[in-house]
Structure formats: structure tokens, C-alpha cells
Amino acid sequence: MGAVDISQDSPYFRVKRGTMTLFIGAKATSSIHSVKLKVLAALKDHYNDSAYNGLDAGHIRLLVQRESAAAGTSNSHHTLGPDTVKIKDAELVDDQAIYLTLRCADGTWEEPSIADYDADTHDMAI
């Protein structure tokens, strides 16, 4: 199955942080800022965690994983660009994983940390 042309559709994205996955729908003409606001609303509505209290769009960063042409690997995370960029212009595809990071108290950004459920760590011996 190839990439879906999201300029015609209302895509959704899997926003991930640690073991959390949020499913966020948006219009192709929506800005990155509006996606951040939806993420914040979902965090505040569904998680009773003090880490999310008082956050605004400036406290979160959305990243995507891009394949590195030189290395042929996909271990490089890139920001989606300025908040004013439209989804259809950010090279996103429907059902894409987007990684959420928070701004640390010292002004730096935390590293993306995503649970790897494909690893053998979830297997149980019987």
C-alpha cells in the first residue's frame, strides 16, 4: 500500500511518546500548530499527569522519522517545521507516526523515547 495523497483527505496521525499513542485527526489544510493544540487537548482530557499541566503549544515539539539517504537508515528525527506549515506541505502521510517531545525546564528538548513493541521484550515464557 503506497502513500495516501492527503491533500484530498482528512488524515490521522499516531502521536507517540513513551508507551502512549494518541490518534489525532486533522485536515490536510490544517497547520502544525492546530495539530499541536489537538495533542494538548487530548493529553489534558485523557491523562491525569502533572507533566502535562500548564503546557502550551510552545512546550511541545512534533518530530517525524526520515530516512537518511547517506546511511539508508530511518533513525533520524526531524521537526515538522514552523507551526504555520500546513500538513499537506509537511510531507506527511495518512497514518504516519509523529513523535512528541516536551521542552525541559532548562529550555532544551527531551530526546524522543518510544516503546518498541516489536522487540522481544513483551514475550512471556510459559
Amino acid, single-letter form, for residue 117: Y
| Res 15: pLDDT | 94
Exposed / middle / buried, residue 98 (Cβ in 10 Å: 0-12, 13-18, 19+): buried
67-109 residue pLDDT tens: 655 555 556 778 888 899 998 898 888 899 999 999 988 999 9
Work out the average pLDDT over 12-16.
Answer: 93
| Res 124: pLDDT | 43
| Res 1: pLDDT | 41
38-52 residue pLDDT tens: 999 988 887 766 677
Which residues have C-beta within 8 Å of that of residue 72, sequence separation ≥ 6? Answer: none
Helix residue ranges, H only, 1-126: 32-46
Residue 6: C-alpha distances to residues 11, 12, 28 (Å): 6, 10, 6
